[in-house]
Amino acid sequence: AQSVAQPEDQVNVAEGNPLTVKCTYSVSGNPYLFWYVQYPNRGLQFLLKYITGDNLVKGSYGFEAEFNKSQTSFHLKKPSALVSDSALYFCAVRDSGGYQKVTFGIGTKLQVIP
């Protein structure tokens, strides 16, 4: 079985400071890892994904994530937070050998304080 853990319900960061949203995963094979963002009253939007290759993945809106196989983590990062980054962030995983079924984390609310 595959699973995702987002240990923080909420992350608060001051505007201009770096931000990190944590994610750890569990799969039986090699992982495909994703980050999505959800703004209020909207559907989820894709930010970035790791399939293979470089451990540092760059995505939309200046976000990046680092795949760490030994720690089974895929933390989302951004060097300088914007107030407009405030939203709900979901980490997701699926086994590369499996079907399309993706398991989503419970979400982390990011609050960027002006």
Partner 1 sequence: DAGVIQSPRHEVTEMGQEVTLRCKPISGHDYLFWYRQTMMRGLELLIYFNNNVPIDDSGMPEDRFSAKMPNASFSTLKIQPSEPRDSAVYFCASSSNRGGGETQYFGPGTRLLVL
With respect to partner 1, which residue has the nearer C-beta, 6 or 81?
6
Tell me the C-alpha distance between 110 and 50, whole Å: 21
Residue 114 CB, nearest approach to partner 1 (Å): 26
With respect to partner 1, which residue has the nearer C-beta, 25 or 50?
50
Closest CA to 22 of 82, 80, 87, 66: 66
Q: How many helices (H) and strands (E) does the chain have?
A: 0, 12
Binding footprint of partner 1 on the chain (CB under 8 A):
32, 34, 36, 42-46, 49-51, 90, 94, 96, 99-107
With respect to partner 1, which residue has the nearer C-beta, 32 or 81?
32
Residue 11 CB, nearest approach to partner 1 (Å): 17
Tell me the C-alpha distance between 104 and 90, whole Å: 7
SS3 1: coil
Residue 53 CB, nearest approach to partner 1 (Å): 11
